[in-house]
Amino acid sequence: MNLSKKTDYALRALFTLVEHQGGAPIPIRELARRNEIPRRFLEQIMLQMRAKRWVKSVAGKRGGYLLAKRPEEITMGEVVRFFDGYLAPIACVSARRYERCSQETVCRFRRVLLEARNLIARLMEEATLARVMRGAPVAPSEIFTLQGRDGDGI
């Protein structure tokens, strides 16, 4: 999984909308300013998210965008999958872009990549906007005991 700018921007905008739930619509201009996103580019992104029914728009003066679902109903995994197309690190272990590989039966490391994909998928699918916003762990704690490792740095 590799986050594109588009997905990054989409998530930023979404979280801003979550923060302002119940309030007035937020115009793209404002979403762009607060998250340092090129306005015209964000426009496209918002349109796609509207088609997905994650957000709804109000046209005209005083218009803007609102969240269209509850923050519990949108996961980071969905967002990444929608914009980037997949979560897996390579096609042969992907649910979305799977394509048979002639080497599959011989491949020594496919198994490891599959494990990686499963971890990520699990993590991202647990990560609803609500949970992430709350700052709560997004997956069962036993995973996260692994975090701090020797000299990893950041």
Partner DNA sequence: GTTAATCCCGAGCGCATAAGTCGGATATTC
Partner DNA sequence: GAATATCCGACTTATGCGCTCGGGATTAAC
Binding region for DNA (CB under 7 A) = 4-6, 9, 25, 27-29, 38-41, 43-44, 46-47, 50, 57-65, 84-85
Tell the residue number behind the tokens 């979305």, with chain if given: 96
Stretch that binds a copy of itself, among 20-28, 46-54, 62-70, 121-129 (CB under 8 A): 121-129
CB 75 → DNA: shortest distance, Å? 20
Shortest distance, position 54 Cβ to a copy of itself, whole Å: 15
1 vs 147: CA distance, rounded Å: 18
First-to-final CA distance of the chain: 18
| DSSP helix/strand/coil, 93 | helix
Give the residue among 100, 78, 102, 98 at the shortest CA–CA distance from 89: 98
Q: Which does 24 bind (CB under 5 to 8 A by kind): DNA, a copy of itself, none?
A: none
Q: Is 130 in the site for a copy of itself (CB under 8 A)?
A: no
Q: CB of 16: closest distance to DNA in angstroms?
A: 12
Q: Is 113 in the site for a copy of itself (CB under 8 A)?
A: yes
Q: Which residues contact 94 (CB under 8 A, 6 or more apart)?
A: 86, 87, 88, 117
The Cα 124–Cα 77 span in angstroms is 4
Is 119 near a copy of itself (CB under 8 A)? yes
- How far lies 63's CA from each of 34, 54, 73, in Å? 17, 17, 24
Residue 116 binds a copy of itself, judged by CB under 8 A: yes
The helix/strand/coil state of 114 is helix
Binding site for a copy of itself (CB under 8 A): 1-3, 8, 11-12, 15, 35-36, 76, 89-90, 93-95, 98, 102-103, 107-109, 111-116, 118-125, 127, 132-133, 135, 138-140, 142-144, 146-149, 152-154
